[in-house]
Amino acid sequence: MSRDSAAAPGVRIRGLTVVYKTPAGELPAVSGVDLTLAPGTITGVVGESGSGKSTLALSLLNAVQPPGRISAGSVEIDGLGDVLALGGEELRRARGRKVGYVFQAAQNSLNPLKTIGKQLLDLGRSHDVDDLRELVRDAKGLLARMGLDGARVLDSHQHELSGGMRQRVGIMLALVLNAQVVVLDEPTTALDMITQATILRIIREVHEERALTTLVITHDVGAVAEVADSLAVMYGGRVVEHGPIAEVLGGPRHPYTQGLIRAIPRLSGDISLARALPGRPPTLGTLPVAGCVFRERCDRRMEICDTVEPEPVTHDGRTVSCHATGRPSPAVKRREYA
Amino acid sequence: MITGTAITKTFRQRGSVLGKRDVPALRGVDFAIERGGAVSFIGESGCGKTTLGRIIAGLETYDSGEIVIDGTPMSSLSHHRRQPYFRRIQLIHQDPYSALNPTRTIHQTLEAPLRLRARQTGRPRSWVDGRAEELLSLVGIDPGYVLPRYPHQLSGGMRQRVVIARALTMDPEMLVADEAVSMIDVSLRLGILGLLRDLRERLHVSVLFITHDIATARYIGDEGEVYVIYRGQVIERGPTETIIADPVHPYTQSLLSAIPVLHGLERPGSEQVVPTEALDEGQADAGCLFARRCPFSTDRCENERPVLSGDGTVQLHACFHPRRRSVIPQGVHT
């Protein structure tokens, strides 16, 4: 399959703020996030529980559910416009046709009472697909591409499929209407190592063959390190660092990214160098109102961090929000981490 | 010290249209866990590692074989007389969010088993509160903060520490940690692994660590041993660092090859092993259990099952064609 890779749409998220209504008032889960997904690339978003990564992903579909509410910002997708300005029927059509979404734990997003084939036909009818036969042919093609027997899978109920097979069904359903922007939320969580490696390879190959713009949301740096072109690190509802993946992993600049990478259990290297980050991830209720959200766990905390929130600063194609590293002096070209 | 010999377990599936179906979960497994030692069971879901862990914790029966705890064969005891032995082995669940009763404060959660323990050991009631604080300090959390709170007020990492503290109320000789860090945030995982390592060193507790993530097995302390389990059979076994750096079984090599490479920090190993897609595994086969997925299988593998052996070394394998391959990622900086 050869499609013009220039056809892949770009996605620009600007000033996105999503608040959740709580007894303590409306608290921001995502706060003023700017993130650009370059056309035809895979962007990985990594963050811990409560970092706002899943809320960010749902915003791409304008699908944040109450008590959540998108209170500010825009999500511009080429050929579609601002998703946040869409509503009703227009929005419903965009979901699936333009933006495909592979849900976390695909087993919970499939209907247990219907065969996969019936759910595929439902999807086709709800999007006014004229030629359902062709839709089924496309679906079988995609499943075969991912190493499954299409006819057998379409005749199966979800409980007859393994975790890795369901995840592939999820990817098929997200792509079968020719969506060009695909969001995968924790695509490999709860999968075995070998299955995970297979799914990651499939994501990369399908991404390239169909000229997609892909966003992968995960808590596991390893799961995106293998496939992504660029990596955005989220903490407390902010993107604290964003850049080409090998550079972010090889020379992280934000203290949180540095700590996170140091905390990954690895197969090789000195065990004694690895350590957990002190403190714990913030929750909606414990996020500081002013200043840097990471300062409580930071080893480079300064006075200014208590009062002023660091602005994202772009330098060498890397965007970092940190008072300590945001404005690198010309003398320090490359910073080694301990 | 706990040893097991030729443990087998078969689950019988009922209710399918085809009638009964036997699913062998364990096909004759031997193990030995020293006091203060660390053993990791590695494998994919369905390989039998959790079943084996539950058998060792006394929560599951086995069909044949023998478990010996501190020199006493369990088969010689009645169900009732076995209980004190299995009480020395405590299980830590995977999910710290469902392992704690949400309607009880941490104080109440720890108080109940500690009262039982006080009765068993003839200590006064007043011992209970002090012990609860001691245990929480031991697992690295502030008792004053945690004791009056409910589980939902704590983070996942803290909850897992509370679960470990609760397991310690019984003064166990061994902790069975089943995927104990897989639901913990990445930045806090090493903290829990470090705690298990600490408990080994300070209390001389042995740790049975069950996981699908081999890398974490390196972090529970020195002199650990890894058992790689495939479809109910131990297919490779040896010191943790040896199994990770120099595996000889193609299945171990497949597992290690599947671990993602952190580009920029690491480069992939030069001889990655990718298994073929799993076929129908329900059929009984006489040969090596991994033969159909193994890229290196021969006629002999199809017809004969290799047994775990080591030619006199500490690294045991069940393979007719063992060969070292460089599969794990190597650091770029060093």
pLDDT of residue A107: 60
Do A43 and A123 lie in one domain? The reply is: no
- Over residues A113-124, the mean pLDDT reads 94
Do A92 and A19 lie in one domain? The reply is: yes
Tell me what ipTM this predicted complex has.
0.85
- Count CA atoms within 13 Å of residue B3 on its CB side: 7
pLDDT of residue A338: 42
Please state whether beta strands B38-42 and B224-230 pair in parallel, antiparallel, or not at all (unpaired): parallel
Our separate counts of H helices and E strands in chain A read 11, 12
Whether the CA torsion A290, A293, A297, A300 is positive or negative: it is negative
Do A75 and A121 lie in one domain? The reply is: no
Q: Calculate helix-pair angle for A163-175, A132-145, nearest 10 degrees.
A: 130
Predicted TM-score (pTM) of the model is: 0.88
Residue A329, pLDDT > 60, answer no
Q: Do A263 and B256 touch (CB under 8 A)?
A: no
Higher pLDDT, B31 or A338: B31
Mean pLDDT of chain A: 87
In the block, which residue shows the tokens 């076995």?
Answer: B82
The pair of structure tokens assigned to B224 is: 């650990």
- CA angle B252–B63–B49, rounded 5-degree value: 25
In the block, which residue shows the tokens 């469902």?
Answer: B98
Give domain limits for chain B: 2-88+172-331, 100-171
A336 in a structural domain? no
A311 in a structural domain? no
Q: Is the distance from CB of A10 to CB of A38 less than 8 angstroms?
A: yes
Do A186 and A38 lie in one domain? The reply is: yes
pLDDT of residue A33: 95
Chain B, window 137-156: residues with a beta carbon less than 8 angstroms from a chain A beta carbon: 155-156
Q: Which residues in chain B are closer than 8 Å to A335, comparing Cβ atoms?
A: none
> Strand runs (DSSP E) across chain A, as ranges?
11-22, 25-37, 42-46, 68-77, 81-82, 99-102, 181-185, 213-218, 230-235, 238-244, 313-315, 318-320
Range of the domain at A188: 8-98+179-196+209-286
Q: Which residues in chain B are closer than 8 Å to A163, comparing Cβ atoms?
A: 45
DSSP sequence for A281-320: ---GGGS-SSS-TTGGG-TT--GGGGTSPPPPEEETTEEE
- Over residues A202-220, the mean pLDDT reads 92
Q: Which residues in chain A are closer than 8 Å to B214, comparing Cβ atoms?
A: 267
Strand partners, A36: A12
Q: What residue in B sits closest to A49 (Cα-Cα)? A: B185
Contact with chain B for residue A174, Cβ under 8 A: no
Angstrom distances, CA of residue B249 to CA of A228, B235, B323, B329: 31, 7, 7, 17
- Selecting from B44, B186, B256 the residue whose C-beta is nearest the C-beta of A48 gives B186
Strand partners, A233: A46, A241
CATH number, domain B2-88+172-331, options 3.40.50.300, 2.70.210.12, 3.40.30.10, 2.70.70.10: 3.40.50.300
Q: What residue in B sits closest to A250 (Cα-Cα)? A: B264
Residue A108: which of A55, A197, A185 has the closest Cα?
A: A185
Q: What residue in B sits closest to A50 (Cα-Cα)? A: B185
Confidence of residue B110 (pLDDT cuts 50, 70, 90): very high
A43 in a structural domain? yes
- Over residues B74-94, the mean pLDDT reads 89
Contact with chain B for residue A264, Cβ under 8 A: yes
List, for residues B289-298, the tens digit of each pLDDT value. 998 889 998 9
- Selecting from A220, A247, A275 the residue whose C-beta is nearest the C-beta of B190 gives A275
Residue B308, pLDDT > 60, answer yes
Judge residue A326's burial from the number of C-beta atoms within 10 Å of its C-beta, 0-12 exposed, 13-18 middle, 19 or more buried.
middle
> In the listed set A271, A286, A301, which residue is the last one of a domain according to the structure?
A286
Angstrom distances, CA of residue B82 to CA of A233, A337, B73: 51, 53, 10
Q: Do A245 and B264 touch (CB under 8 A)?
A: yes
Mean pLDDT check: name the lowest of A272-286, A307-321, B140-154: A272-286
Kindly report the length of chain A: 338
- Over residues A292-296, the mean pLDDT reads 92
Distance of residue A304 Cα from the nearest chain B Cα, in angstroms: 25
What are residue A108's phi and psi, to 5 degrees?
A: -90, -10
Do A69 and A88 lie in one domain? The reply is: yes
Contact with chain A for residue B254, Cβ under 8 A: yes
Q: Do A276 and B191 touch (CB under 8 A)?
A: yes
pLDDT of residue A335: 46
pLDDT of residue A328: 52
Q: Do B193 and A196 touch (CB under 8 A)?
A: no
Q: Do A281 and B187 touch (CB under 8 A)?
A: yes
Contact with chain A for residue B213, Cβ under 8 A: yes
- Over residues B191-201, the mean pLDDT reads 92
Contact with chain A for residue B245, Cβ under 8 A: yes
- Selecting from A246, A269, A283 the residue whose C-beta is nearest the C-beta of B264 gives A246
All residues at 6 or more sequence positions from B305 whose CB lies less than 8 Å from its CB, including other chains: B286, B287, B288, B289, B318
Contact with chain A for residue B266, Cβ under 8 A: yes
Do A85 and A213 lie in one domain? The reply is: yes
Do A134 and A188 lie in one domain? The reply is: no
Q: Do A261 and B265 touch (CB under 8 A)?
A: yes
Pairwise CA distance, residues A224 & A50, whole Å: 19
Judge residue A173's burial from the number of C-beta atoms within 10 Å of its C-beta, 0-12 exposed, 13-18 middle, 19 or more buried.
buried
Q: What residue in A sits closest to B222 (Cα-Cα)? A: A271
Q: How many CB pairs under 8 A join A and B?
A: 126
Q: Is the distance from CB of B253 to CB of B247 less than 8 angstroms?
A: yes
Distance of residue A258 Cα from the nearest chain B Cα, in angstroms: 11
Give the count of domains, chain A: 2
- Over residues A65-69, the mean pLDDT reads 90
Pairwise CA distance, residues B41 & B33, whole Å: 12
Residue B140: which of B221, B195, B204, B206 has the closest Cα?
A: B195
- Selecting from B215, B277, B329 the residue whose C-beta is nearest the C-beta of A265 gives B215
Distance of residue B319 Cα from the nearest chain A Cα, in angstroms: 20
Do A217 and A231 lie in one domain? The reply is: yes
Q: Which residues in chain A are closer than 8 Å to B257, comparing Cβ atoms?
A: 197
A80 in a structural domain? yes
- Over residues A36-42, the mean pLDDT reads 95
Do A160 and A187 lie in one domain? The reply is: no
Q: Do A222 and B259 touch (CB under 8 A)?
A: yes
B126-153 burial: b if 16+ Cβ within 10 Å, else e: ebbeebbbebbebbbbebeebbeeebee
A319 in a structural domain? no
pLDDT of residue B89: 94
Mean pLDDT of chain B: 89
- Selecting from B264, B275, B330 the residue whose C-beta is nearest the C-beta of A250 gives B264
Identify the residue among B13, B211, B265, B280 best suited for mutation to test binding to A, counting A beta carbons within 10 A and taking the highest.
Answer: B265
Residue A83, pLDDT > 80, answer yes
Cα of A219 vs its chain's centroid, Å: 10
Residue B320 has what DSSP assignment? Answer: S
Q: Which residues in chain A are closer than 8 Å to B47, comparing Cβ atoms?
A: none
Q: Do A197 and B258 touch (CB under 8 A)?
A: yes
Do A217 and A237 lie in one domain? The reply is: yes
Distance of residue A66 Cα from the nearest chain B Cα, in angstroms: 21
Contact with chain B for residue A48, Cβ under 8 A: yes
Residue A187: which of A216, A145, A209, A215 has the closest Cα?
A: A216
Residue A337, pLDDT > 50, answer no
Higher pLDDT, A96 or B89: B89
Cα of B306 vs its chain's centroid, Å: 24
Q: Do A276 and B332 touch (CB under 8 A)?
A: no
Q: Do A280 and B262 touch (CB under 8 A)?
A: no
Do A249 and A172 lie in one domain? The reply is: no
Residue A274, pLDDT > 80, answer yes
Contact with chain B for residue A273, Cβ under 8 A: no
Do A52 and A16 lie in one domain? The reply is: yes
Residue A24, pLDDT > 90, answer no
CATH number of A66's domain: 3.40.50.300
- Selecting from B185, B265, B328 the residue whose C-beta is nearest the C-beta of A49 gives B185
The pair of structure tokens assigned to B255 is: 């597992």
All residues at 6 or more sequence positions from A303 whose CB lies less than 8 Å from its CB, including other chains: none
